[in-house]
A and B are shown apart, each in its own frame.
Chain A
Amino acid sequence: MEEKMKIKFLLNKKNIEVEVLPNRRLIDFLRDDLDLIGTKLGCGEGDCGACTVIINGKTANSCLVLAPQVDGKEVITIEGLGDYDKLDSLQQAFIDEGAVQCGFCTPGMLLSAKTLLDENPKPSREEIMRSMSGNLCRCTGYVKIANAIEKVANANN
């Protein structure tokens, strides 16, 4: 048996201290051990972005990250973005603008959008498109997703 490693990190603003196997993927740790099922597995190869999380302010495909790699870092998943009683403005905009169909890409899309707006509160349409180029969506054709992000950006001053 491989030896487990102790890791400490900030997950959705809460301190986490756990022991994990060195080869445990972050996505499996989140989904299986913590039941944070909002992080989706679409490919497991870094191609679809459904598993996007935010690590130290940057988006990452959690299927390509090993759990020990987040030791000492801050991780945000979709569960940390908002909740029933306090939706993030991006979540509200996705709902209002019709950006959600099957919803499987939605958590990843939202976290990519969140990262974009944190870095660049007033992105151009082109910058919005570029920011989500790592997140595949087969349902929407991306138009309504971009509209939603743009709406939130326009409300930023």
Chain B
Amino acid sequence: MEELSVVGKSVIRKDALDKVLGKTRYSADIKMPGMLYVKVLRSTVPHALVQKIDVTVAKALAGVAAVLTADDVPGLNGHGIIIKDEPVLVKDKIRKIGDPLAVVAAETEEIAIQALKHIVVELEELPAVFDAVEAMQDDSPKVHGKSNILAVRKIFKGEIDEAFAAADIVVENVYYTQMQEHSYIEPEAGIAYMDGNQVVIKASTQNTHFDCREVARNLGVPQSRIRMIQAPTGGGFGGKLDVSVQIYLALLAMKTRKPVRLVYSREESIIASTKRHPCRIRYRTAADKQGKLLAVDVEAIADTGAYASYGPAPVTRLAVHATGPYEVPNVRIYAYTVYTNNPTAGAMRGFGVPQAAFAYEQQMDMIAERVGISPLAVRMINSLKKGSKMATGQMIPSGPGISSTLLPAYDKAIQTKALAGYEPSVKKRGYGLGCMFFGVGNTGQPNPAGAFLDLLDDGSANLMVGAADIGQGSNTILAQIVAEELGMDFEDVQVTSADTGVTPDGGATSASRQTYISGNATLLAAKEVKQLLLAEAAALFGVAQDKIVLKNRQVMVVGQESKDGISIKQLITVCRSKGKMTLGHGWFNPSTTALDDETGQGEPYEAYSFGSQVVEVEVDTETGVVEVLNLYAAHDVGQAINPLHVQAQIEGGSIMGLGYGLYEDMKKVEGKIKTSSFATYLIPTSLDIPSIQAIIVEDKADTGPFGAKGLGETSLVPTAAAIANAVYDAVGIRIKSLPITPEKVLRALEETR
């Protein structure tokens, strides 16, 4: 393998300097002369028929430029990632608290707020449903249409009933997971204005090309008339995949022909945005006397709230990953996506898999205990690896499965354990394992991304990609890929991303897909340019193309590296003198097949990332408080393009997983969120974090750019499960519902006494 010079190096992020100086302009920091301020009137009831929305008084207020309701949406009054079931502005039926009823643009924020108070809404409340299991009953109130069951994902493999009948060990449990909020620190925001006949929108988003399609459809104009630009985005984690402010802004910019800005408050952000699906998972596992898995039988019911959003996709991913990273010959999975009048659940980092992991990893420990083997052993003997078949029948394309991450994480934990001077007291310590796998990219769906590369006269380059950098660092990673392939310096590559006026579609920044998919597209664009350069250089030096290397901004002939070659810049000059442009483009779509509707069989992903975590907890048996002391997180990323930022993703993801495991809980009563602030919805602070060891494992994927796979979500997936297992190890109680609160721990301890 040739030595890499830019890929694999922790180069400094492109955006870091402006960010530490406070110069980065996020959406809420953009101001334009004559700008109007936008506010949204939202429903305070969960389910109702709208009889009338009267905006006459609001419209007449001094300083109000426009008030829009459903009747002012010129195109389709619907949006949504999978189906367009969510109104831009409600016309006749409210389905959740927070549903938008009207939008106002005014000269000041205060006037806009005043105007909202003058809008008169008449409605007739309807009985509502707030529990997914109840919502599945025939006589439950219906959120949309005739059934609340939006989707059922089935996966069948082998002979499930025979396998259970023949099993030595059967473990069955029901697990509950809670609703989690993304809690990006930047609330949703954006600005829009007219540029000639084009509407320009700058907003905090994870997918500009999707936003553009939505807005164009709602406005009833061609997509080319919408230019959607991602403003620097203060985190997303899946919560900025759905449109938030974009459509309102575009409507109002068109209507008023003035710049308009909308910034959500924290409360509005929490009320209006999607969440992680709360789930009930009934999980039955069969194993033989040696602890070898024979079958799993899973029924998952996911509360998707009032609208589809991404809903069925995470639930499908939950189903596909429900066996965990283990080989299971017989599988039966039913996963239901169910509408209720709760806040909408959509995409969130991990996309259904953390819920599955909480169940399957506890099942694994229980099997181990019944067999009398260690948690480590039960995982090792059942691990998926290259050539083994997952639930959908797909063969794992490469790698040893979890062992390459589990063993290093375990070893690190053991080493530390030997050093810890620990005296058991009312505080008891324990260890827990959590393992995971994760398919990179969308599940069994085409999900391409493109890239344009323009190599400029002086040897520097502009890369244009649709991939939104929401803080994870894709702009930096993609520049590293170009620099590596073309023998340039990292600093030579400038990246413009997520601007529908300039960049090709990159698809969503989700599904841990940008390093892999936009990375491959970028690499293809670079290869196209490289091909041009090699052909020119080969002619110039009179050697075969494969004898040319591009390195350190130089063009050299293999074997004659010490001799003076020419610079890449000079080679470009040669191209230009012949009228040749050094442009490249690339697009990449991972090869997958759709899952069969009836059997769930198919090849949903091209590459899989594996990971393992070991946590050490201390459980206070008097207070029930669980503290995570140490977290060893080993994740296989194929090739770390930027190791420092791979570590940072592992650290950030596992701490979000720790929050999921121990305290985060979006509480709601009759569809009303009770935790709509950071004072009531608690996310981990610096005082809550354990000592973390992030361990990077590199089992290269043949299909990834320089072998890289995705990692954005992986580190969140196993943490809560590992904590649950550690609590059992410490005090012998099984907590089967998230989060693992002191109250639940104390109650369970009581019961064992």
Q: How far is the CA of A118 from the CA of B154 in the complex (A)?
A: 60
Given contacts A101-B648, A139-B471, contact A95 B17 (CB under 8 A): yes
Given contacts A43-B678, A141-B692, contact A83 B186 (CB under 8 A): no
Q: How would residues 14 to 37 of chain B score, 1 for a CB under 8 Å from any chain A CB and 0 otherwise?
A: 011111111111101101000000
Q: How would residues 119 to 135 of chain A score, 1 for a CB under 8 Å from any chain B CB and 0 otherwise?
A: 00000000001101111
Q: How large is the interface on B (under 10, 10 to 19, 20 to 34, 35 or more residues)?
A: 35 or more
Chain B residues positioned under 8 Å from A138 (CB to CB): 182-185, 235, 237, 652, 656, 683
Contact across chains for B20 and A102 when beta carbons are under 8 A apart = no
Q: How far is the CA of A35 from the CA of B29 in the complex (A)?
A: 8
A115 on interface, CB distance cutoff 8 Å? no
B560 on interface, CB distance cutoff 8 Å? no
A59 on interface, CB distance cutoff 8 Å? no
Interface residues of B in 266-296 (CB under 8 A from A): 266
Q: How far is the CA of A130 from the CA of B645 in the complex (A)?
A: 24
Quick check: which of A2-10, A65-73, A142-150 contacts chain B, the rest being far away? A142-150
Contact across chains for A100 and B16 when beta carbons are under 8 A apart = yes
B10 on interface, CB distance cutoff 8 Å? yes
A91 on interface, CB distance cutoff 8 Å? yes
24 of the cross-chain contacts (CB-CB < 8 Å) are A37-B29, A38-B21, A42-B186, A45-B677, A48-B678, A87-B21, A96-B12, A98-B648, A101-B471, A102-B235, A104-B471, A106-B19, A106-B22, A107-B22, A136-B185, A137-B185, A137-B686, A138-B237, A138-B652, A139-B471, A139-B652, A140-B648, A141-B692, A146-B686
The 6 closest A-B pairs by CB, nearest first: A38-B22, A102-B471, A104-B234, A103-B19, A78-B22, A141-B655
A153 on interface, CB distance cutoff 8 Å? no
Chain B residues positioned under 8 Å from A50 (CB to CB): 185
- Distance (whole angstroms) from the CB of B168 to the closest CB of chain A: 41
B119 on interface, CB distance cutoff 8 Å? no
Q: Is the interface of B mostly helix, strand, loop or mixed?
A: loop
Which one of A36, A77, A104, A141 contacts B652 once the chains associate, using CB atoms below 8 Å? A141
- Distance (whole angstroms) from the CB of A29 to the closest CB of chain B: 15
Contact across chains for B21 and A78 when beta carbons are under 8 A apart = yes
Chain B residues positioned under 8 Å from A100 (CB to CB): 13, 15-16, 19-20
Q: How far is the CA of A94 from the CA of B12 in the complex (A)?
A: 10
Chain A residues positioned under 8 Å from B24 (CB to CB): 103
- Distance (whole angstroms) from the CB of A83 to the closest CB of chain B: 7
In the complex, the chain A residue whose C-beta lies closest to that of B26 is: A104
B612 on interface, CB distance cutoff 8 Å? no
- Distance (whole angstroms) from the CB of B750 to the closest CB of chain A: 32
A79 on interface, CB distance cutoff 8 Å? yes
Q: How far is the CA of A55 from the CA of B42 in the complex (A)?
A: 38
Q: How far is the CA of A37 from the CA of B28 in the complex (A)?
A: 9
Contact across chains for B679 and A45 when beta carbons are under 8 A apart = yes
B651 on interface, CB distance cutoff 8 Å? yes
In the complex, the chain A residue whose C-beta lies closest to that of B232 is: A103
A54 on interface, CB distance cutoff 8 Å? no
Chain A residues positioned under 8 Å from B15 (CB to CB): 100, 103
In the complex, the chain B residue whose C-beta lies closest to that of A130 is: B687
Contact across chains for B470 and A102 when beta carbons are under 8 A apart = yes
Chain A residues positioned under 8 Å from B20 (CB to CB): 82, 87, 91, 94-95, 100, 103, 106-107, 110
- Distance (whole angstroms) from the CB of B657 to the closest CB of chain A: 10
In the complex, the chain B residue whose C-beta lies closest to that of A50 is: B185
Chain B residues positioned under 8 Å from A57 (CB to CB): none
A19 on interface, CB distance cutoff 8 Å? no
Chain B residues positioned under 8 Å from A82 (CB to CB): 20-21
B187 on interface, CB distance cutoff 8 Å? yes
B685 on interface, CB distance cutoff 8 Å? yes
A60 on interface, CB distance cutoff 8 Å? no
Instruction: Pick from A104, A135, A144 the residue with the most CB of B within 10 Å.
Output: A104
Given contacts A82-B21, A96-B12, A129-B687, contact A48 B185 (CB under 8 A): yes
A47 on interface, CB distance cutoff 8 Å? yes
Chain B residues positioned under 8 Å from A137 (CB to CB): 185, 686
- Distance (whole angstroms) from the CB of B473 to the closest CB of chain A: 7
Contact across chains for B687 and A144 when beta carbons are under 8 A apart = no
Q: How far is the CA of A79 from the CA of B22 in the complex (A)?
A: 6
Given contacts A107-B22, A129-B686, A138-B237, contact A143 B678 (CB under 8 A): no
Contact across chains for B647 and A98 when beta carbons are under 8 A apart = yes
In the complex, the chain A residue whose C-beta lies closest to that of B24 is: A103
Given contacts A43-B677, A102-B470, contact A144 B648 (CB under 8 A): yes
Instruction: Pick from A50, A102, A133, A138 the residue with the most CB of B within 10 Å.
Output: A102
- Distance (whole angstroms) from the CB of B267 to the closest CB of chain A: 9
Contact across chains for A136 and B22 when beta carbons are under 8 A apart = no
Chain B residues positioned under 8 Å from A142 (CB to CB): 651, 655, 684-686, 689
Chain B residues positioned under 8 Å from A41 (CB to CB): 28, 187, 263
Contact across chains for B25 and A98 when beta carbons are under 8 A apart = no
- Distance (whole angstroms) from the CB of B660 to the closest CB of chain A: 12
In the complex, the chain B residue whose C-beta lies closest to that of A82 is: B21
Contact across chains for A47 and B678 when beta carbons are under 8 A apart = yes
In the complex, the chain B residue whose C-beta lies closest to that of A37 is: B29
Contact across chains for A143 and B186 when beta carbons are under 8 A apart = no
Contact across chains for A39 and B22 when beta carbons are under 8 A apart = yes
Contact across chains for A91 and B685 when beta carbons are under 8 A apart = no
Chain A residues positioned under 8 Å from B183 (CB to CB): 136, 138
In the complex, the chain B residue whose C-beta lies closest to that of A108 is: B185
In the complex, the chain B residue whose C-beta lies closest to that of A111 is: B22
Chain B residues positioned under 8 Å from A43 (CB to CB): 266, 677-678
B644 on interface, CB distance cutoff 8 Å? yes
Known: A47-B266, A138-B652. 13 other contacts (CB 8 A): A43-B266, A44-B266, A45-B677, A100-B13, A103-B24, A104-B471, A129-B689, A138-B183, A139-B648, A141-B689, A142-B684, A142-B689, A143-B648
